[in-house]
């Protein structure tokens, strides 16, 4: 361990951190997120230049439409130049619009990878999470401690899970991820500001923001399984609180970076479990 706040990663990327006797936190590895951040900066720069070019074209078109020169005062050479300019604007505009669509798609992919980077790779966030900052002297539950606690009794799988929201499955359990590795859970695309509900009865072990994940909620289910929901905008759940199936525990972002995506993962100790058979019927 490095210092008192080092987080040891589980074999496939999920770490549960004890916070004030309850806490648990899913964390991700910094290097993949650093690479995603660099890619995001590059795309943002390209988007900015593209927007500037579109803005200049729009200014020219608006000015020409608002205050066109009187036909009788236009010299032949000016008329030719104006025609050439109109042709050039007409030729350039579709290309700039095409770039805008490409950059928008890149931005959505970056947003998706940011939420999945932690689970797609082996590791955990270290001191970047707000939860760790809030507990400067708090104990960190190592992997051995967590698995030791859960191995002292027989884990019982939930019989079923309610869909946490109405959404379309983008990535299923075991799917290949563009960032590398396999998905340990489900990724659901949904509408902006959609409410998120507890899929099962459980104890809230963590509810709060985690860098790269948005707001994360971790439930310890009745049979000892853990359920992780990541990518929320906010949560109304509190650590140490019991929640019941169908209880509202949070809401999704406004969709400024593309359709909001919720990540759902279920674990039996260190082992990720396919949640699809347990769900009643998520739409899509």
12-26, 217-231, 268-282: which is most confident: 217-231
> From residue 91, how far is each of 53, 61, 88, 103 by CA, in Å?
13, 13, 5, 20
Identify the residue whose tokens are 């563009």: 178
Closest to 272 (Cα-Cα) out of 226, 216, 214: 226
Indicate the range of 49-53, 102-106, 132-136, 225-229 predicted with least confidence.
Answer: 132-136
Helix (H) or strand (E) holding 203: strand 202-210
For domain 1-284, the question of CATH label 2.70.70.10 is answered with: yes
pLDDT at position 237 over 70: yes
pLDDT at position 152 over 60: no
Q: How many CB atoms lie within 10 A of CB 182?
A: 14
Q: Which of the four pLDDT bands, split at 50, 70 and 90, describes residue 270?
A: confident
Q: Could you tell me if 278 and 157 are in contact, meaning their C-beta atoms sit under 8 angstroms apart? A: yes
Q: Would you list the domain boundaries of the chain?
A: 1-284
Mean pLDDT, rounded, for 220-228: 90
Residue 87 confidence (pLDDT): 64
pTM of the model: 0.52
Percentage of residues of the chain with pLDDT beyond 70: 48
Q: Which of the four pLDDT bands, split at 50, 70 and 90, describes residue 176?
A: confident
Identify the residue whose tokens are 């509900």: 197
């Amino acid at each position: 361990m490095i210092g008192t706040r080092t987080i040891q990663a589980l074999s496939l990327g999920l770490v549960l951190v004890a916070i004030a006797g309850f806490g648990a936190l899913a964390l991700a590895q910094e290097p993949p997120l650093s690479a995603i951040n660099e890619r995001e900066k590059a795309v943002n720069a390209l988007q900015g230049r593209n927007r500037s070019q579109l803005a200049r074209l729009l200014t020219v078109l608006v000015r020409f439409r608002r205050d066109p020169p009187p036909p009788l005062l236009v010299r032949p050479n000016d008329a030719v130049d104006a025609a050439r300019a109109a042709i050039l604007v007409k030729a350039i505009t579709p290309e700039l619009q095409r770039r805008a669509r490409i950059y928008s798609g890149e931005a959505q992919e970056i947003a998706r990878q940011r939420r999945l980077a932690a689970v797609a790779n082996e590791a955990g966030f270290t001191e970047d999470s707000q939860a760790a900052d809030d507990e400067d002297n708090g104990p960190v539950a190592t992997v051995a401690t967590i698995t030791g606690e859960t191995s002292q009794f027989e884990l019982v799988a939930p019989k079923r899970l309610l869909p946490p929201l109405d959404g379309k499955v983008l990535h299923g359990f075991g799917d290949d991820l563009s960032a590398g590795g396999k998905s340990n859970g489900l990724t659901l695309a949904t509408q902006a500001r959609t409410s998120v509900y507890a899929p099962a009865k459980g104890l809230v072990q963590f509810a709060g923001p985690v860098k790269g994940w948005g707001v994360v909620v971790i439930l310890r289910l009745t049979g000892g399984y853990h359920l992780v929901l990541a990518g929320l905008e906010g949560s109304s759940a509190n650590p140490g609180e019991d929640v019941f199936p169908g209880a509202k525990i949070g809401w999704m972002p406004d969709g400024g970076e593309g359709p909001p995506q919720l990540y759902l993962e279920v674990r039996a100790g260190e082992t990720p479990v396919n949640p699809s058979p347990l769900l009643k019927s998520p739409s899509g």
